[in-house]
Amino acid sequence: MAGLRRTAQSHTNHPACIWMQAGVVKFKHCAIDFDCRVCRFDKTLRRVAEENRRRSKRGKPPTTARQRILFWRDALMALPPQRRPCIHSMKQRIAFRSCTNDYVCGSCEFDQYFQDQFSVHAVLRPVAVQEVRGVKFPQGYYLHRGHSWVRLETDGEVRIGLDAFASQLFGTPDALDLPLMGKPLQRDLPVIGLNRQRWRAELLAPVSGVVTAANTRVVETPDLLNSDPYGEGWLLLAHAEDLRSDVRALLMGEEATAHLESDIEALHAVIDSQLGPLAADGGHLVADILSHLPRDCWDAVAQQFLRPPVS
């Protein structure tokens, strides 16, 4: 059996699944960077473990291997305290550290420290990026009709930013007003202020929930909104209260590109009505459109594209 395990491990560079590390299953590797939220294997074992927990409460002893499956946390809690690995060391983000809070991460001071020091500063690198008439949008991201984007993280948390269409429209802001940690968010209501000279635009929240972090770096260097809107130019981390409902109201894939195409066409119409043809390079929008438009029309433009009617 040991020889078989070594052979199996030699054919993969993926780390051991958390369920394997806890000893619940003998062999399972993780190929999705410990994103348990989208893992079918994790969902299946959680369902079986919950069935077994209810069975145990009814006084029925396990008689099969399936009935002996328990939650990975329960398996690790059977170990001596000093041997219980922190979830972040299990995910290979840090060296070994023992869990000191019975795997209740929500009230763990170290987990909060880790999120502040590591997760908040994570840089997104989209795997594939689509381009719609010169405006880029990454696959796997959700788009709000008011041109904020959403990237799903873990445990109901999302990352929020401003898409490339809005950054090309607005240019580099003089200042950003980001909400503080703990600020409630209401989907489709203003949450972020963009300020440039006398102009101000407000970005609508794409989800409802609570702010868990703001990107202070983009406040100090607003040009990141233009140079890296889907990476280091992100704006907020938030915990979504009803992510399933929020996602249904967002756009992804062909719906997102169709919305971008429609708004690009509408923006061309605004530009033509104000200045005559401004587009170049086969119909692509120029950068920093705001600086080309008459000042008295900006409020209407911001209202049309950043605060559209939502269903």
Query: Cα(199)–Cα(170) distance, rounded to whole angstroms?
Result: 10
Residue 311 confidence (pLDDT): 55
- The mean of the pLDDT values for the chain is 84
Query: Cα(152)–Cα(109) distance, rounded to whole angstroms?
Result: 24
> How much is the average pLDDT of 271-278?
69
224: phi then psi, degrees, rounded to nearest 5: -60, -25
**Token duo for residue 183:** 């600020």
**Token duo for residue 274:** 């104000």
List the one residue out of 50, 31, 27 whose CA is nearest residue 40.
31
With a CB cutoff of 8 Å and minimum separation 6, the contacts of 79 are: none
Is 45's pLDDT higher than 60? yes
Min mean pLDDT across 39-48, 269-278, 292-301 is at 269-278
Residue 18 confidence (pLDDT): 95
CB 179 within 8 A of CB 203: no
Query: Cα(213)–Cα(80) distance, rounded to whole angstroms?
Result: 34
pLDDT digits (tens, 9 = 90+) for 60-100: 999 999 999 999 999 999 999 999 999 988 988 778 889 98
- Give the pTM: 0.61
Is 10's pLDDT higher than 50? no
Query: Cα(197)–Cα(13) distance, rounded to whole angstroms?
Result: 52
The SS3 of residue 191 is: strand
Residue type, 175: A
**Token duo for residue 27:** 């062999």
Residue 23: left (phi > 0), alpha (psi -120 to 50), or beta? left
Going 213 to 225 to 291 to 138, the CA torsion angle's sign is negative
